[in-house]
Amino acid sequence: MADERLIPGGLRNDDSAYAYNEMAERLGAMDLTPLLVYIVDNVDASVLPYLAEQFHVTGYEGWRQAKNDAERRALLKNAREMHRYKGTEYALELAINSLGLTFTVLKWWEYSGLPYHFKISFDLLDSGITADEQTLLTALVNEYKAKRDVLDNMEFNLAISGDVFVGISCQSSEIITVYPE
């Protein structure tokens, strides 16, 4: 039964109070978690493309570069901040960090370049990058950088971890000559 304080005064003594109580009980028993679409970690993966459309991160703004659901969810979480600070280094960092990449940005004065030019150095671990992925990454950088800035180049440093076995051999010899006395 619904709380009597929630029923409007005109319905308390009327026959419609029963219907109102029944409706209130049904609404109270409904599972509202499917409506919580902005809690990106809890939504179904099938909803993610619609959220990407709503947050305007489709295409070259990050969605095409994201390889899995974890990267897509990170992109959606950062979407508001990326658009708020679009055109700054911070927005660029958020967009690239959403893809799980490690990188450093070198400004023009750090490498004796032309004013408003920059380079990005990516540290790739255990996997390389294809030409298509590099093109998409360039489009992402161009989307979030300041319009006056010019991307000179992108470096990709590949580090592969593994076991290295080293063997060492040491040989020592000495020649002894015995002379008669």
- 142 is a domain residue: yes
For range 106-114, the mean pLDDT: 92
Same domain, 23 and 100: no
Q: Give the DSSP per-residue string, 161-180.
A: --------------------
Q: Output the pLDDT for position 170.
A: 86
Question: Average pLDDT, whole number, for the chain?
Answer: 85
Q: So what's the pLDDT on residue 180?
A: 82
Asked if residue 86 and residue 133 are part of one domain, the reply reads: yes
Structural domain tally of the chain? 2
How confident is the model over 17-57, as pLDDT tens digits?
677 777 778 888 887 777 667 788 888 888 889 889 988 99
Given a contact cutoff of 8 angstroms between Cβ atoms, the answer to whether 141 and 118 are in contact is no
In a domain, 88, yes or no: yes
Both 18 and 97 in one domain: the answer is: no
Closest to 63 measured CA to CA, from 143, 125, 121: 143
Domain that holds residue 57: 37-159
Residues 6+ apart with CB under 8 A from 113: 119, 152
What pLDDT was estimated at residue 147? 92
pLDDT band at 106 (very low <50, low <70, confident <90, very high): very high
Q: How many CB atoms lie within 10 A of CB 19?
A: 11
Classify residue 98: in a domain, yes or no.
yes
Which of 173, 158, 83, 86 has its CA nearest to residue 126?
158
What digits encode the pLDDT tens for the residues 111-159? 989 999 999 999 988 778 888 989 999 999 999 999 999 999 999 998 8
